[in-house]
Amino acid sequence: MSCSCKRSRSQYLRTVNYQGDGLRAGMQWDDSDLGKMQILIDTVHGDSHPGSSHLGGLADEAKIGVYETQGKPAVYAVTDICDGIAMAHDGMNYSLASREIMSFMFEIHALASPYDGAIFMASCDKSVPAQLMTMLRLDMPAIHVCGGSMLSGPEYMSSEILYGAGDKYAKGNLSEQELMYYSRNCCPSAGACQFIGTASTMQCMAEALGLALPGNALAAAYTTHLTRFARRSGRQITENVQNSLIPRKFITKESFMNALMVHAALGGSTNALLHLPAIAREVGISIEQQEFDAVNREVPVLVSLKTGGQWPTDLFWYAGGVPALMRELKDILYLDAMTVTGKTVGENLEQLAAAGWFAEVNSYLTNYKISAGDIVKTRQKPVKPQGNIKILKGNLAPEGAVIKLSGVDEAIHNFIGTARVFDSEETAVADLLAGKIGPKTALFIRFEGPKGSGMPEMLRTTEALWNMPELASSVALFTDGRFSGATRGPAVGHIAPEGVAGGPIAYLEDDDLIKMDVAARTLDIVGIKGKPATPEAVAAILAERKKTKVFPVKETTPLLRLYKKLARTCTEGAGLEI
């Protein structure tokens, strides 16, 4: 059929560029295809990692859905990198920058060709927020399709186990056969990793914002449930084009507050504190760090997810996933927030219940001899009475720092330690593994913020520390870089201002005294060279050190130089100042 939507973009652009019809004919487009509604399906399909390797099949399902509603789909791809593969070497410096590059490429795909609407597909850390940023930037109907969750390994094993296993193997305490057992079985299918890392968190944020179909986030990637979501999205996008349902026109601050509440109930990744503000900025909405802190004071943790908790994400989906959390939080959510279904959050929840969806997915848990209530708790009997995210401030972090309390020993909530300062993660990990870090140490890795080195993750360090029980309850890690959503143990990141911007972290020296009080939400330098000092004395010493401090110059590339030059602060989402 011809596209009947009001002033179809695709049909208008045909009248100004007749060459386009000929080029499409070279891809076996029929004459009748040219007059149909044109739908872009943009994925991160590729052989980069399990979260993207299966998206080609999902794109095929979305195409069927578009065809079923008489549209014409076209599939594009910009594959993403895997933070787990980029970890522990300089490749991690590209991770956050890749969010911006991918977002620009998705924008180029949508606007350089005559499309009327778009479906975006991704599973993981930077590709999901990149696509959500683009969706809110475009004046175009769009839907996000989440790539779902990987099958759990034996005993709910997942890939982070290989850090500890690898360290044991390197020391001769684990055989190669045992190491390869973990390697073969920790990622047994496609989909996002089975813990509430950044990948899983951002899928849930896409759904909580109303930008993906209800129930889609973390759907078991090894089932036909996920392929059905993809096909339904193909049908939904043509309806949204007809109805001019455009995300940037219906998304509101209330949509983002819903996402913050779901994030707290999930115990989600600290990286959401970078991604949600960057996504919101696309529509002129401000999300402050203190809003995360305020929400986490009020919203309890309702599900105990790996790595810091009990359950893998595929079982969480069988327990009802994001809709189950939203149903439990409905008294405090903004139920009238609009979504890509053309219905509100409240209407979506009612429709899922009426269709028997909760009972259907819950039925899979009988295979595990558990119930949905074992996984998703009530607000009256939560996993934790408050969320895991706390924002700390003090003379070490005047603009703030972030701690996630999952797996953090309460003994370290009120911490005083002696600083050991490193200018790179590699040297810090080397000393840690060599036994050169003792108890009561405040371990600092600095010059790793957005402008310092692209703000890489520090999962290698946190996992090394986690696997040293003798230190895990007495050593805290501090950085102006960031952490993986899989991080466990005492780790404080996003320290702002960052080192290269002249933040106090730049002028720390070994043996300075650090105090962290989680309950009071404070982070301060309380002594110099092992001796207690007043705040005034600390400020004076830092001012003297500033006069002679020379910042390290890190090897870099044109792309990273561009990112570091234009990057906003982490408190603003570390997007580009353009």
Record the tokens describing residue 426, joined without a space: 């590699």
pLDDT in the model for residue 3: 53
- Classify strands 522-528 and 531-532 as parallel, antiparallel or unpaired: antiparallel
Averaged confidence pLDDT in the chain: 95
- Dihedral angle, C-alpha 86, 89, 92, 93, nearest 10 °: -150
Residue 445 in this model has a pLDDT that exceeds 80: yes
What's the residue count for the chain?
578
Record the tokens describing residue 329, joined without a space: 């939080």
pLDDT per position as a tens digit, 477-501: 999 999 877 777 789 999 999 999 9
End-to-end CA distance of the chain: 41
pLDDT above 90 coverage of the chain, percent: 89
pLDDT per position as a tens digit, 511-547: 999 999 999 999 999 999 999 999 999 999 999 999 9
Mean pLDDT value of segment 418-446: 93
126 with 271: CB under 8 angstroms? Answer: no
Residue 407 in this model has a pLDDT that exceeds 80: no
pLDDT per position as a tens digit, 291-304: 999 999 999 999 99
Record the tokens describing residue 532, joined without a space: 């207690």
pLDDT per position as a tens digit, 55-65: 999 999 999 99
Query: In this predicted structure, which of 157-166, 260-269, 463-472 has the lowest mean pLDDT?
Result: 463-472
Told to judge if 52 belongs to the known catalytic residues of this protein, a careful annotator would answer no
27's CB contacts (< 8 A; 6+ apart) are none
Mean pLDDT value of segment 212-235: 98
> What domains can you pick out in the chain, each with its CATH number?
36-152+188-374 (3.40.50.2300), 153-187 (no CATH), 389-572 (3.50.30.80)
Identify the band that residue 408 occupies on the pLDDT scale cut at 50, 70 and 90: confident
Record the tokens describing residue 337, joined without a space: 């927030």
Residue of 53, 98, 159, 484 with catalytic role: 484
Mean pLDDT value of segment 357-374: 98
pLDDT per position as a tens digit, 93-114: 999 999 999 999 999 999 999 9
Tell me the whole-structure pTM to 2 decimals. 0.95
Bridge partners of residue 116, in order along the sequence:
none
pLDDT in the model for residue 1: 38
Bridge partners of residue 527, in order along the sequence:
513, 532
Identify the band that residue 553 occupies on the pLDDT scale cut at 50, 70 and 90: confident
Identify the band that residue 459 occupies on the pLDDT scale cut at 50, 70 and 90: confident
Residue 467 in this model has a pLDDT that exceeds 70: yes
Identify the band that residue 409 occupies on the pLDDT scale cut at 50, 70 and 90: confident
Q: Mapped to the 3 state alphabet, what secondary structure does 319-384 carry?
A: CCHHHHHHHHCCCCCCCCCECCCCCEHHHHHHHHHHCCHHHHHHHHHHHHCCCHHHHECCCCCCCE
Cis peptide bond N-terminal to 487, omega within 30: no
pLDDT in the model for residue 306: 93
- Cα distance between residue 467 and residue 471, in whole Å: 9
Give me the amino acid identity at 189: S
Counting Cβ atoms within 10 Å, is residue 107 exposed (0-12), middle (13-18) or buried (19+)? middle
